[in-house]
Amino acid sequence: MNNLATKDIVVFIVYFILIAGYGYWIYQRKKKASITASHDFFLAEGSLTWWAIGASLIASNISAEQFIGMSGDGFFVGIAVAAYEWIAAVALIIIAVWFMPIYLKNKIYTMPQFLKTRYNETVSLIMAIFWLFLYIFVNLTSILFLGAVAVSGLVGPEYFHIIMVGLAIFALIITLGGMKVIGYTDVIQVAVLIIGGFATIYFALTIVSEKFGLGRDAIAGFNTLLKEAPDHFHMILSKPDANSSQEYINKYLLLPGIAMYFAGQWIVNLNYWGCNQYITQRALGADLQTARKGLLFAGFLKVLMPVIVMLPGIAAYVLQKSGHIEVGIKDEAYASILGFLPEGLKGLSIAALTAAIVASLAGKLNSISTIYTYDIHKKYFNKEMEEKKQVWLGRMVAVVAVLISLLFTWDDILGIGGEGGFTFIQKYTGFISPGVFAMFILGMFWKRTTGAAAVAGLITGLVLAVFFNNYAVSVFGNETWLYTAFRTIENGKEVYQIPFLINMGWSFFFTVLIMVGFSLAGPKVNPKAFELDKSMFKLSPSITAMIVVTLLILTVLYAKFW
């Protein structure tokens, strides 16, 4: 670790001991309390506080792809990329108010269980298998690869494989303790992530102020960013015209202005935060009040995240523009800022990165264990499986999942490095998101939705997503009433693309139409429909206050940076 000073290594070791020691203490307390039931291992049923749920949600969500990918997009586009975080805060409000009461009232513990309860075994089994493949071959692999790339970039590329194995083992140790250990260690992980992230951006801003001759002043550094990169501080990008540069067109393809707020941005966030085992699992073991507060606390933390993961990218852009650093590709922006950090703080930044990576890996592993144990093994192989054997099986599944992901990531068999980790994840999850979200949203709130409609929606959503992404332009042309395709360069060739978030919006819209058509051919009320009543959605004064505060902050931010 030639790039690290002794202080950096000491800081990281202290972080590791703190997490491992606290996790072991939580595990021992759980054993002494004789809580060995499978629900406790998989869901930490009734034992996570609202702040632990909220912190765990954020720790599981923020990983290397955010630190590296979003900072890179901040370098390239600017503050507009914060939409992913700030719309997520609104999505979490929607889920807390309307989704969570339905899940908890119907005792839903896994997402495949929701599909079985509301639709049928076929839909449930298809999605259980799909989610297992997605989590292992897309999420685990990409988080491991990006994490190893990010940390090895700071300590030395020769340590790439050692770091990858170390991250996997660290995450596995936490996972084997169960969801309660994951949930409470995530509180420390988030604290490290936030402290390390804010320390990094503070020093990044002071570096900017110093380079521009303004002394060590973080506020002056931020004002310099506003002055030197005004185009990077607009939330809404205007639609390109004939005079737009190729660089601007590429920015719009990534974040298509106001249009994305009527299309894929909501599908991405509501599907991820509300219909995703990996995320919802944290709240499914709690009572409604605790679950709601946890989700809303996570929403408040999401408002802060762009400061940590996006502003360093803008700082790198300004420093490059003024000739003080060189950034080869946008994903190198975060590492270029970390190179300026003083001794000790670099170790804290590595700890923050490691916290984000390990928490995400542990959350994914727990979700893989839960889906396989509850929705496949117990249902189809051993219906009378004892509680202790379920926990043992869950741990073994986590070990196998780690070994598979290491095997496919070791020499980058899946080509994650070539595509970019963030793009790799978006590509494979984005194709299925419209169909999955349509199944969930209609299944919750329209009693007529049928199982046949769900299967049709899943297939239609996938087919339409692939069609709009790969074939629509060649069939319908570059300009239609549905979309505008823009010129870009792909693999050295000039091609026309529709913004991905627009594709997702139309895929969802037509999938819903197909599902409605299928359902209208069925009974007026599906026997498996959920019973809803207004009392389920009533809010306590404290919940209402949390929602109002979050919405006011977001309103001010959008008014400032529109």
Categorize the per-residue pLDDT at 367 as very low, low, confident or very high, splitting at 50, 70 and 90. Answer: confident
Task: Decide if pLDDT at 191 tops 80.
Answer: no
The domain defined by 6-193+257-414+535-561 folds into: Sodium/glucose cotransporter (1.20.1730)
Please tell me whether residue 498 adopts helix, strand or coil conformation: coil
CB atoms within 10 A of CB 216: 12
For the record, the structure tokens of 386 come out as 């004892």
Which residue, chain included where needed, has tokens 């290491």?
406
Query: What was the pLDDT predicted at 312?
Result: 87
**Angstrom distance (rounded) from CA 439 to CA 134:** 18
The whole-number pLDDT of residue 421 equals: 57
Distance CA 140, CA 287 (A): 30
Q: How far is CA 386 from CA 36, 373, 374, 419, in A?
A: 11, 12, 12, 44
Cα angle vertex 14, ends 13, 18, to 5°? 115
- pLDDT number for residue 437: 93
Do residues 20 and 154 make contact, with C-beta atoms less than 8 angstroms apart? no
pLDDT band at 241 (very low <50, low <70, confident <90, very high): confident
**For 97, how many CA atoms within 13 A lie in the half-sphere containing its CB?**
20
pLDDT digits (tens, 9 = 90+) for 130-147: 888 888 888 888 888 878
Task: Sketch the domain layout of the chain as residue ranges.
Answer: 6-193+257-414+535-561, 431-531
Q: Token pair of 262, please?
A: 């009527």
Residue 299 in this model has a pLDDT that exceeds 90: yes
What percentage of the chain exceeds 70 in pLDDT? 90
Best CA proximity match to 287, nearest among 48, 122, 79: 48
- Tell me the average pLDDT across 502-528: 91
Beta strands in 415-531 (DSSP E): 486-490, 493-497
8 Å CB contact between 223 and 231: no
Residue 149: pLDDT above 90?
A: no
CA dihedral angle for residue 462, residue 465, residue 469, residue 475, rounded to 10 degrees = 90
Residue 137 and residue 409: Cα distance in Å, rounded? 9
For 301-323, what is the mean pLDDT? Answer: 86
Q: How far apart are CA 388 and CA 87, in angstroms?
A: 41
pLDDT at position 27: 67
Beta partners for residue 486, in sequence order: 497
d(CA 556, CA 98): 25
pLDDT category at 506 given cuts 50, 70, 90 is very high
Taking only the tens place, the pLDDT of each residue in 242-286 is 888 888 888 888 888 888 888 888 998 898 888 887 777 777 778
Hey, what are 95's tokens?
């889920």
Neighbours of 222 (CB within 10 A): 18
- Please check the confidence at residue 335 and state whether its pLDDT lies above 80: no
Could you give the CA distance from residue 528 to residue 261 in angstroms, rounded to a whole number?
A: 33
CB 96 within 8 Å of CB 295:
yes
The stretch 405-410 carries a mean pLDDT of 88
Q: Is 206 helix (H, G, I), strand (E, B) or coil?
A: helix
Model pLDDT, residue 35: 47
Q: What is the pLDDT of residue 444?
A: 92
**Confidence at residue 511, expressed as pLDDT on a 0 to 100 scale:** 95
Per-residue pLDDT at 419 = 53
* Average pLDDT over every residue of 380-392: 78
Tell me the per-residue pLDDT of 355-364, one tens digit each, with 9 for 90 and over. Answer: 778 877 887 8
Contacts 24+ apart (CB under 8 A), 81-84: 81/254, 81/255, 81/306, 81/310, 82/235, 82/306, 82/310, 82/557, 83/235, 83/255, 83/260, 83/261, 83/265, 84/265, 84/268, 84/269
Q: Would you list the DSSP string of 344-360? A: THHHHHHHHHHHHHHHH
Give the model's confidence band at 420: pLDDT under 50 very low, under 70 low, under 90 confident, else very high.
low
Does residue 44 surpass a pLDDT of 70? no
Tell me the average pLDDT across 96-107: 91
Q: Is the pLDDT of residue 91 over 80?
A: yes
- 219 by Cβ neighbours in 10 Å (0-12 / 13-18 / 19+) ranks as exposed
Environment class of 338 (CB within 10 Å of its CB; exposed 0-12, middle 13-18, buried 19+)? buried
Least confident segment among 104-113, 172-181, 552-561: 172-181
Residue 339's contacts (CB-CB under 8 Å, 6 or more residues apart) are none
pLDDT at 183 (0 to 100):
64
The pLDDT of residue 83 is above 60: yes
The residue among 5 and 218 whose pLDDT is bigger is: 218
pLDDT band at 64 (very low <50, low <70, confident <90, very high): low
Average pLDDT of the residues in 290-312: 89
Return the percentage of the chain with pLDDT > 90, whole number. Answer: 17
Position 179 confidence tier, pLDDT thresholds 50, 70, 90:
low
Most confident of 26-40, 132-146, 462-476: 462-476
pLDDT at 34: 45
